[in-house]
Chain A
Amino acid sequence: MSLRERYGGMTRAEQGVSLFVCGFTALLVVALLTGGLTPSYTLYLAGLTGMYVLLSLGLNAQWGYTGLINFSVAAFFGLGAYGAALVTASNSPLAIPGGVLVGLVLAVVGSAVVATAIAIPTLRLRADYLAIASLGLAEVVRQIVLNQRDWTNGSGGLRGIPDVFAGWPVLGPLPGELPGLQFAEYAVGIPGLFRIRVLGFTLGEPFWTDLLNFVAVVVFVAAVYLLLRRVHRSPWGRVLRTIRSDEELASALGKDTYAFKLQSFVLGSVVMALGGVFYAYLVAYVDPGDLEPINTFYVWIAVILGGSGSNRGAMFGGFVVVAIREGTRFASDILPARLPVDVPVLVDVYGAIVSDFGSTRLLIVGLLIVLVMRLRPEGVLPPQRELLWPSALEETDE
Chain B
Amino acid sequence: MSDALTTGANREKDDPVLEVEGLRKRFGGLVATDDASFAVERGEITALIGPNGAGKSTIFNLVSGFYEPDAGTVRVDGTDVTGKQPHEIADEGLVRTFQTPRKLEGMTVREAMLVGAGDQPGESFLKLFTDAAGVAAAERANVEAAHEMLERFEIGHLATQPATDLSGGQMKLVELARAMLAEPELLLLDEPVAGVNPTLANTLSDHIARLNDDGVTVCLIEHDMEFVMNLADPVIVLDRGSVLVEGSPDAVRADDRVIDAYLGGESA
Which chain A residues have a beta carbon within 8 Å of chain B's beta carbons? Answer: 230-231, 234-236, 238-239, 241-242, 244-246, 248-257, 263, 267, 309, 382-383, 385-389, 391-396
Contact = CB atoms under 8 A, between A and B. Distances in A.
B136 interface: yes
A385 B106 CA distance: 6
Contacts of A391: 136, 139-140
Ranked nearest first, the 6 interchain pairs of A and B with the lowest CB-CB distance are A235-B122, A254-B90, A392-B139, A251-B86, A389-B139, A249-B102
Contacts of B147: 396
A267 to B, nearest CB: 8
Contact of A249 (B98, B111, B144): B98
Interface string B174-216: 0000110010000000000000000000000000000000000
Contacts of A230: 128
Contacts of B91: 254
Given A235-B120, A242-B104, A251-B90, A396 B95 contact: no
Nearest to A251: B86
15 contacts: A234-B128, A235-B139, A236-B122, A238-B111, A245-B106, A246-B102, A251-B85, A252-B95, A253-B90, A255-B123, A267-B125, A385-B106, A388-B114, A389-B136, A391-B140
A322 to B, nearest CB: 27
B115 interface: yes
Given A235-B123, A236-B122, A387 B111 contact: yes
Interface in B139-198: 139-140, 142-144, 147, 160, 162, 178-179, 182
Contacts of B179: 253
Interface string B89-103: 011000111100011
B118 interface: yes
Contacts of B144: 396
B102 A245 contact: yes
Contact of B86 (A252, A267, A309): A252
A394 B179 CA distance: 25
A239 B123 contact: yes
Given A252-B64, A253-B118, A391-B136, 14 more contacts: A236-B124, A236-B125, A245-B104, A246-B103, A248-B86, A250-B87, A251-B86, A252-B90, A254-B87, A254-B90, A255-B87, A386-B108, A391-B139, A396-B140
Q: Which of B95, B102, B103, B179 has the most CB of A within 10 A?
A: B102
A238 B106 CA distance: 11
Given A234-B128, A251-B85, A386 B114 contact: no
A235 B135 contact: yes
A388 B178 CA distance: 17
Contacts of B121: 235
B66 A388 contact: no
A396 B136 CA distance: 12
Q: What band does the interface of chain B fall in when counting residues whose beta carbon is under 8 Å from A? A: 35 or more
Contact of A389 (B86, B87, B135): B135
B225 interface: no
A234 B135 contact: yes
B182 A238 contact: no
A238 B105 CA distance: 11
B69 interface: no
B107 interface: yes
Given A249-B102, A252-B95, A395-B140, A235 B114 contact: yes
Contact of B125 (A231, A241, A389, A396): A231
Contacts of A392: 136, 139-140, 142-143
Given A252-B64, A392-B139, A239 B125 contact: no
B104 A388 contact: no
A212 to B, nearest CB: 28
Q: Which of B90, B108, B160 has the most CB of A within 10 A?
A: B90
Contact of A251 (B87, B135, B139, B142): B87
B153 to A, nearest CB: 17
Contact of B105 (A245, A248, A252, A394): A245
A385 B116 CA distance: 19
B90 A236 contact: no
A396 B143 contact: yes
A257 B98 contact: no
A243 to B, nearest CB: 10
A383 B107 CA distance: 10
A28 to B, nearest CB: 34
A358 B90 CA distance: 55
Contact of A241 (B90, B107, B122, B178): B107
Contacts of A242: 104, 115
Given A386-B111, A389-B139, A396-B143, A252 B98 contact: yes
A304 to B, nearest CB: 15
Contact of A309 (B106, B114, B124): B106
A396 B124 CA distance: 23
A392 B160 CA distance: 15
Contacts of A386: 107-108, 110-111, 160
Contact of B95 (A231, A253, A256): A253
Contacts of A251: 65, 85-87, 90
A244 B102 CA distance: 12
A254 B125 contact: no
Contact of A256 (B87, B116, B142): B87
Contacts of A234: 122, 128, 135
A246 B100 CA distance: 12
Nearest to A231: B128
B188 to A, nearest CB: 9
Interface string B55-72: 000000000111000000
Nearest to A239: B123
Contacts of B160: 386
Contact of B98 (A248, A387, A393, A396): A248
Contacts of B106: 241, 245, 309, 382-383, 385
